[in-house]
Amino acid sequence: MRLGTAAHQVADMIEDCGVDAWVDGERFRAPGALVMLQSVEYDRLGGAAHTVTWTVVLVACDHGPTEALDDLGDMLAKVEDRLGVERVEPVAYTSPAHGRAELPGLQFTRTTTVSDDETEE
C-alpha cells in the first residue's frame, strides 16, 4: 500500500482545482491546502485495497479575520465540488513553516480507496 503516493494524488486533485497543496507540513506555505492521513480501514476482502480517509486543511494567511475568511471561502469554492466536500469545520493550523504561527483554516475529510496497485477516488 503506497500511502505517500495516494497522499500526493489527493494533493494533485486539489492543485487541479487551483489551490496549492502539500503533504509535508514542514514545507507548507500559506495560503493553500495540507493533506494529512486520518485513518486506514481494513474493510476489503482479501486485503489488497483499503479505505483511507484524509484530513484536508485549507489555510489562509493571517491578515485580518474578514480577509482570511474570504480567502478560505474562495479556496473552498474551488475544491468543494471536485472533492465532494460535505462538512467543513473551522480550525487554527499551527504552521511550523510560519514560525509556529496559528493560521486560520477550514478542515474537511476526503475518502479514497488505496490498493497495492493504484488509488481510486
Tell me the per-residue pLDDT of 59-80, one tens digit each, with 9 for 90 and over: 999 888 899 999 999 999 999 9
% of the chain with per-residue pLDDT over 90: 69
The angle that helices 65-83 and 3-16 make with each other, rounded to 10 degrees, is 110
CA dist., res. 87 & res. 20, Å (int): 21
Tell me which residue of 8, 7, 14, 13 sits closest to 106, measured CA to CA. Answer: 14
What is the reported pTM? Answer: 0.88
For the chain, the farthest-separated pair of C-alpha atoms sits apart, in whole angstroms, at 51
pLDDT band at 119 (very low <50, low <70, confident <90, very high): very low
Q: Give per-residue pLDDT as tens, 23-60.
A: 998 899 999 999 999 999 987 666 678 899 999 999 99
pLDDT for residue 121 is more than 90: no
The whole-number pLDDT of residue 48 equals: 75
Handedness of CA 14, 18, 24, 28 (dihedral sign): negative
CA dist., res. 116 & res. 69, Å (int): 39
